[in-house]
Amino acid sequence: MAKKQLKGMAVLVVMVCIAALTAFAGVALAHEGGWGEHGRVQHHDFRKIAKKLKLTDAQKAQAKAIFKANKDVVKPMFANLRAERKTLEALIHSDNVDEAAIRGETAKLSEIQADLNVNRARMAAQFRAILTPDQLAELKALQTRHKRH
């Protein structure tokens, strides 16, 4: 039983790594001082995924170029997201409940999050485009195993 749990945890760790890879833009922000230690963990996870998928040095360089190019796109989005969250928190904890303002601020957050998700999907597609068919199959298998857990 413990061996099965350990295997399940290993699969979960791999899937978290994959998620971190597709959201590598956050790592770039972390290295700018935005997320602290979290960025170092994601960077380490990229190395795990690169190893698991057996990325070549050229593929690693391509992936890093994709993530670096994305840095300038997501950095202002994350800054805006943080600012809007602070505004929403202030509205929520205000002495007067302004439902319209809370709903408006929540809509702003949803729009920013949608933009980040679209960007993440585009970046993931760019990453998948540099993979060989075997690597892509392995990535999809890892994602499928993760979905079952």
pLDDT in tens, 57-74: 999 999 999 988 998 899
Name the DSSP letter for residue 54.
T
25 vs 39: CA distance, rounded Å: 10
pLDDT in tens, 22-42: 444 444 443 333 433 344 444
Coil, strand or helix: which one is 57? helix
Q: Are 70 and 123 in contact (CB under 8 A)?
A: yes
Name the DSSP letter for residue 94.
S
- Which of these, 125, 81, 88, lies nearest to 105 by C-alpha position? 88
**Band of pLDDT at residue 46, cut at 50, 70 and 90:** confident
Predicted structure pTM score:
0.63
What's the per-residue H, E or C state across 107-131?
HHHHHHHHHHHHHHHHHHHHHHHCC
